[in-house]
Every structure is written in structure tokens, then in C-alpha cells.
Amino acid sequence: MSKFPLYSNEFDANPFPFYKDLQENAPCFWSDDAQKWVLTRYDDIVNALNDWQTYSSAQGNLVDEFPGRAGNTLGSMDPPKHDELRAVIQSVFAKRNLTHLEEPIKATTKRIIDNNIGNKKHFDFAKDFSSEITFDVLATLLGLPDTNKEEACANALMMVQTDIKTRQKGPEHLAAFQWVKDYASNVIAERAKNLGDDAISQLITAEVNGVKLDLIQVELTVTTLIMAGIESLSGFLKMFAKNMANYPEQRAKILADMSLLPDAIEESFRFNTSAQRFRRCLTKDVTLHGQTMKAGDFVILAYGAGNRDPRKYENPDEYDVLRKAKGHLGLGGSVHLCLGNAIARLAVKAAMEVFLTEIPHFSQAEADDELEWLASSNFRSPKKLVFIRE
């Protein structure tokens, strides 16, 4: 039995016992399945994130990377290049510039519930709710056209997956990547004719050290924003709603006091973030816990494991919305802290406040090991998440 069966539905259904075993018995673990090292302890992951000179992102940050992507997106660049590019678009994603979106997101949420869920006893939270909300938020933020919505969502979801047999991106994943990239290229070309104050316009006009970005960098950065926007936000919404379904006594606390929602969101980022794993590449040999990792080796930083490290959090396997989870890795960390962290927090709070008001009591229709999970080596979320209204 593999200690880290990254490419299996069993692992997706419940990776936490595997993480725990590695944390205790092999904290610096060479995975034959992934052909990469795996770090699972909180302190080791934070050290790696802070030491970006040693744990470089420039060879790609996706556990299974796309050809030609590394070095052309924010997440796959190291400082100082990374910081210069991030500075260009950070303001679009800054909390202080987003508060005006809260009420429109709430209104959209109400409309989506009325249109897609209504009085249905059973509904698919993924299809009926989270993917629609997510596209809407992203479209507002990036100024995306309302056309091709379903295709964009389907391709964004496909591109983050991996063929579980070949353990690489298969033709369908590469085709989805290409589709999203072409979609991004079209949006960029249109936007260039009519610039605004959105993130894409900022990327088109940005100059770093007096030089405009290469078109490929703009294209791949926008492709990543679309992928992250659709998949990550939707994935996290699903995991948060899943926690609400699975822990009714915790949900009751929020129903009694909605001001606890932000704390519950932080606890969900800790407890079962959808962004479970990212990768780095070593720029020099590193010896850790008696193992020597060589320069050029890839290392998986298992954020989802670090978030359950008992050295960091008391009773880590307990979902406790009153915990006030601080310092979690649910949005990554250090210079690669999720660019969309503020919009993610705001959108999830706004959407779930409305959702829980409209549908306060619900449970999950299928057990976790019966769910079909996204076949992704980075992300963890169910493809379909049916709830039963109670």
C-alpha cells in the first residue's frame, strides 16, 4: 500500500490519515507515485514558503505542470520578477477596493437560489450554486463576457485535473488548458481595444522596469486567474458548504450568529482547504529530518497536511468554527499567498450568508467515499455535491 497514493479516489476522499502517517513517520518523504518529495509538517512548509530562494516556483507550481506555463504566471515566478508583476495587479484584488462587490454578490446569490434551487428537496450545490456564483464574481472582477459561461467553467474544471493512470496531463486536460488560453487571448485582444480599470487592462498596460509584459505572460496569467477564479473559489465554496452540512452543531452556531461566518471561513481554510498541495523545485541540496533532497528535485508542499499538524493546532481534526484559526496554509503563504485571498473571503461570506439564510438546514446525500472527487494533484473538491434540504 502506497504511503501517498496521490492519484487515487481513495486519497481524494480522505487524504488526512495518509498525511498523519507521513507527519509522524516520514516528515520528509520521497513519493514514488509522484516522483517528488512531500513535506507535511506545518513548520517545514512555512520554512519552505519563506525560503523561496531555495524552494523555487520558477519551474512551475502545479504538482503536474502544463508545458510552457512555468515562468509565465505569477505563481510560477520567483521574486523580484514575481513581486514586480504582482504589484501591477494587486490593487485590483485589494480588500479596500472590493467592498462594493458585497451587495451585488448577495443579490446574485439570491437570484441563483431562486432560479436554480427554488423548493427542490435535492440539489447539486456544485452545478446549481457554486459554479454559477463563481463565474459571476470572476466575470465582474475581470470584465469577462457573459457568453460561453458553461464551457468556460467546464474547461477550467477539466484543466486542473490529471490522468490518474498516466499521472500526467492527458489530451483532454491539455485541450481544456488550450481552450481557456484561447478564451483568455480573445478577451485580451478585445480588451486591448477598449481598456478599463479591471485586472486584464492593468496587465495589458503594465510596465515592469519600463518594459511591457510579453503577450504570452499576459495570456497565461489571465488563464491562471480564470482557472483559479473558477476552480479554486468554487472548490472552496463546496468544501465550506460541505462542512456546514456535515457539522450541524457548528452550523447552528452560525445560524444563531452570522457574525461568526468570517471565523468559520478561516476554520474551513484550515480544516479542508480545496488547495491541498502545490510544488516547488530545489535550487540547492537540503537535508531535512535525515533525508537529503538534491538540487533540481521537486517538493510537494502539502498545505492540507500542515493545517492538521498537531504541533501547530490543538485537536487539529476537529472542525471548530470558534477556533479563530490563524496562520493556516489554506491560501498558501509568503509571497505566493493567493492573489485572490480578499475576494475569496468576501465572496464566500456574502454568498454563504444568503445561502444559509435561505436554506438553513441541509445534509449531504452521499458519503465521502461515494463522491466522485476532482482528479487533481493540487486541489480537492467533489465534482458533484448533492444536498438534501431538511
Partner 1 sequence: MVQVVYIAHDGEQTELNVQEGWTLMQAAVSNGVDGIEAECGGACCCATCHIYVDDQFLEKIPAALAQEEGMLNEVVAERTQNSRLACQIKVSNALDGIIVRTPEAQS
**DSSP 3-state assignment of 386?**
strand
322/337 with CB nearer partner 1: 337
In order of 35, 43, 275, the CA distances from 239 in angstroms are 28, 25, 11
Rounded to a whole number of angstroms, the minimum distance from the CB of residue 206 to partner 1 is 12
How big is the chain, counted in residues? Answer: 390
341/357 with CB nearer partner 1: 341
Beta bridge partner(s), residue 135: none
Query: Which spans of this chain sit near partner 1 (rule: CB under 8 A)?
Result: 46, 50, 79, 82-83, 86-87, 90-91, 93-96, 324, 326-327, 332-337, 341-342
93/123 with CB nearer partner 1: 93
Rounded to a whole number of angstroms, the minimum distance from the CB of residue 46 to partner 1 is 5
111/289 with CB nearer partner 1: 289
**DSSP 3-state assignment of 207?**
strand
289/324 with CB nearer partner 1: 324
- Across the chain, how many H-helices and E-strands are there? 15, 12
Rounded to a whole number of angstroms, the minimum distance from the CB of residue 339 to partner 1 is 8
Grid coordinates in use for 215?
503577450
Rounded to a whole number of angstroms, the minimum distance from the CB of residue 159 to partner 1 is 24
Rounded to a whole number of angstroms, the minimum distance from the CB of residue 338 to partner 1 is 8
Instruction: Quote helix, strand, coil % in the chain, to nearest 5.
Output: 55, 10, 35
**Which of 241, 232, 260, 382 has its CA nearest to residue 321?**
260
Beta bridge partner(s), residue 277: 302
Torsional class of 73: left (φ above 0), alpha (ψ -120 to 50), beta (otherwise):
beta
Grid coordinates in use for 48?
519552505
20/86 with CB nearer partner 1: 86
Rounded to a whole number of angstroms, the minimum distance from the CB of residue 370 to partner 1 is 36
Grid coordinates in use for 95?
480588500
**How would you label 147-161 residue by residue, b for 16+ Cβ within 10 Å and e otherwise?**
eebeebbebbbbbbb
**Which of 52, 51, 44 has its CA nearest to residue 26?**
44
Rounded to a whole number of angstroms, the minimum distance from the CB of residue 67 to partner 1 is 27
6/46 with CB nearer partner 1: 46
Rounded to a whole number of angstroms, the minimum distance from the CB of residue 34 to partner 1 is 25
- Name residue, grid cell 506545518: 42
2/50 with CB nearer partner 1: 50
